[in-house]
């Protein structure tokens, strides 16, 4: 039986991928908002836009997690089959790109020392090693380590779902997500593969399945309704973030009474949680017939590659002097296309190596 593509979810996956790039491009402007000497009037005039774009796309990671749960929990597979599939599709790329980014940042340090005629800073080398060991070698790699742990417990979650039924499983997802909010907002974790850190996202993961299962009947009216409400919530959230920026503080420096550190752009900020669920629900209701698998199949690798492309652009070619009204859309397009091209090249080389290994094994048998 031929597998039927859920094109609406493919579309959401691509939008999430682009949104992550938008977040990281616009973050360069938002984080420098308190440094007026560096950017000056050009940036100050665009602070509302930069912050708005950065906040409006914060649904990306929660929706990525819900997409993962929506598919992984929908069908029964053996432990062996499931783990073998994820080992190849997620664990191996995570290991490869963790090593790659460690070597990339190491080469940047060595090149800078060579150009400047200085010794290689030992502290920087130690930091790269620590980042590699803690799963933080690349600011975006944390997601892969987090989702790997959730995949490890997916067969257990599936068994729980079968025992308690979809209705109670949905309640479990809501409870886990609600309980996770205060802990996620007020806790810090040094390891990307910290079990406690990963557990926060299990609620999203479960709801990804239950929401998708309850919305088989498509309704574009519901799509518009849920999407509109979600965007309004994210828009409101952007004003909260703008207030923090105008106080000259980073998100991590903002304090709430009795709570402590609080970031409105956290994946567990209440408005972000509600908006993300509504956006996922909107796309679960969307009737979208166009097959876009030729782009969707590269989404993981675009995510993995985009930090490299963005860093190379900022290091060697681009400066944060363009007005953000132009820079953020322009840089996003450049990074997405560059990451897509590199993803295709990487997979072409990977498949050639894989074929060569298989051929060598068959030749020896």
* pLDDT 10s digits, 143-189: 999 999 999 999 999 999 999 999 999 999 999 999 988 877 766 66
Q: E-assigned strands of the chain?
A: 255-256, 260-261
Instruction: Report pTM.
Output: 0.89
Describe the chain by its helix, strand, coil percentages, rounded to 5: 75, 0, 25
- What is the C-alpha to C-alpha distance for residues 194 and 282, in angstroms, rounded to an integer? 31
Residue tagged 């810090």 (tokens): 188
Strand partners, 51: none
Contact criterion met (CB below 8 Å) for 215 and 281: yes
Give Cβ neighbours of residue 138 (< 8 Å, ≥ 6 apart).
Answer: 97, 98, 101, 307
The percent of residues in the chain predicted with pLDDT above 90, rounded, is 50
Q: What is the pLDDT at residue 1? A: 40
Nearest alpha-carbon partner for 274 in 219, 226, 241:
226
37-93 pLDDT tens trace: 544 444 555 788 888 999 999 999 999 999 999 999 988 878 888 999 999 999 999
- What are the tens digits of pLDDT across the range 314-326? 877 766 567 888 8
């Amino acid at each position: 039986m031929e597998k039927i593509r859920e094109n609406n979810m493919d579309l959401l996956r691509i939008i999430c991928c682009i949104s992550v790039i938008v977040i990281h491009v616009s973050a360069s402007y938002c984080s420098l908002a308190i440094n007026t000497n560096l950017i000056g009037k050009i940036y100050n005039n665009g602070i509302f836009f930069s912050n708005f774009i950065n906040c409006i796309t914060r649904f990306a990671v929660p929706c990525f997690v819900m997409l993962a749960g929506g598919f992984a929990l929908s069908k029964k597979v053996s432990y062996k089959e499931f783990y073998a599939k994820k080992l190849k599709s997620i664990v191996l790329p995570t290991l490869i790109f963790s090593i790659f980014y460690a070597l990339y940042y190491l080469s940047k340090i060595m090149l800078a020392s060579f150009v400047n005629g200085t010794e290689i800073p030992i502290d920087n080398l130690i930091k790269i090693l620590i980042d590699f060991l803690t799963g933080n070698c690349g600011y975006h790699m944390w997601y892969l380590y987090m989702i790997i742990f959730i995949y490890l417990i997916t067969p257990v979650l599936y068994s729980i779902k079968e025992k308690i039924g979809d209705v109670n499983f949905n309640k479990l997802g809501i409870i886990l997500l609600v309980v996770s909010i205060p802990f996620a907002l007020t806790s810090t974790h040094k390891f990307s593969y910290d079990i406690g850190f990963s557990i926060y996202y299990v609620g999203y993961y479960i709801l990804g399945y239950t929401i998708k299962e309850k919305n088989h009947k498509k309704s574009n009216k519901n799509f518009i309704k849920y999407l509109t409400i979600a965007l309004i919530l994210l828009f409101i959230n952007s004003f909260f973030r703008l207030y923090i920026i105008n106080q000259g503080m980073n998100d991590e420096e903002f304090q709430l009474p009795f709570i402590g550190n609080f970031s409105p752009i956290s994946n567990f900020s209440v408005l972000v949680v509600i908006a993300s669920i509504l956006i996922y629900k909107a796309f679960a209701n969307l009737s979208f017939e166009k097959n876009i698998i030729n782009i969707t199949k590269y989404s993981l690798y675009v995510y993995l590659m985009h930090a490299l492309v963005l860093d190379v652009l900022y290091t060697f070619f681009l400066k944060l002097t363009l007005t953000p009204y132009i820079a953020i859309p322009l840089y996003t397009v450049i990074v997405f296309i560059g990451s897509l091209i590199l993803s295709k090249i990487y997979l072409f080389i990977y498949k050639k190596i894989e074929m060569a290994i298989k051929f060598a094994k068959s030749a020896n048998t």
